[in-house]
Amino acid sequence: MDLDSLPKVMGDDGQFHAVDDAVDLSGTTPEAWAALGLFWLLGATVFYQFITRYVFNNSASWTEEIARYLLIGTVFVGAAIGVAKNNHIQVDLLYRYLPHGAARALATGVDVARIAFCAAMSWFTLQMMGKMGNYNMTIIDLPMNIVYGVCLIGFLAMTLRSIWVMRIHLQRGYSLLERPESTMGDR
């Protein structure tokens, strides 16, 4: 590697000169903002729990339950980000050795199975909410359906993002399974 080809960060004046790239949040999805909001609420709740327990020696009992539910919400809403980026766990090796037609059919089958799974989980969550009725949280007098409602929103977002991902795969003629070096931004 030629040292002259590297960017110069130390100026002739002996000062450090580096410029950060501009921060661009325009590509941030709505579910990412929602997951970030839930995560910050979780952080604030855990911080409040820490202060009341270790500083005031009088732990707020509601914080553990609410933190648990905020973590559940963060995971379910945040899972839609993984679906949108199409970066869930996958095995690419098989697609390397399959003929193109078989790899394409299998990748399309994976897309269809993901849509079916997320849609089924949305339906099951909705059914569970109907069966929960007026069941309340343990410590806080709020309905448990709030928690299941956030899970439902996460599953619905995953379903919609799965459809979106499949549409992109069909338009460009390959999926990330077939070409793992590509990204969802490649079109």
Q: What is the pLDDT of residues 14-48, one digit of tens each?
A: 777 777 788 888 888 899 999 999 999 999 999 99
Q: pLDDT averaged over the chain?
A: 87
Provide the pLDDT for residue 46. 95
If one compares 184 and 45, the residue with the highest pLDDT of the two is 45
Q: Which residues contact 176 (CB under 8 A, 6 or more apart)?
A: 86, 87, 90, 169, 182, 183, 184
Mean pLDDT of 59-79: 92
Confidence of residue 113 (pLDDT cuts 50, 70, 90): very high
If one compares 11 and 78, the residue with the highest pLDDT of the two is 78
Tokens of 180: 């793992």
Can you tell me whether residue 10 is helix, strand or coil?
Answer: strand
Q: Structure pTM?
A: 0.80
* Cα–Cα dist 46/16, whole Å: 39
Residue type at 177 in one-letter notation: L
pLDDT at 182 over 90: no
Confidence of residue 13 (pLDDT cuts 50, 70, 90): confident
pLDDT at 181 over 90: no
Can you tell me whether residue 143 is helix, strand or coil?
Answer: strand
pLDDT at 10 over 80: no
Percent of all residues in the chain with a pLDDT value above 70, rounded to a whole number: 93
Provide the pLDDT for residue 5. 66
Percent of all residues in the chain with a pLDDT value above 90, rounded to a whole number: 50
Mean pLDDT of 133-149: 89
Q: Are 98 and 106 in contact (CB under 8 A)?
A: yes
* Cα–Cα dist 178/147, whole Å: 37
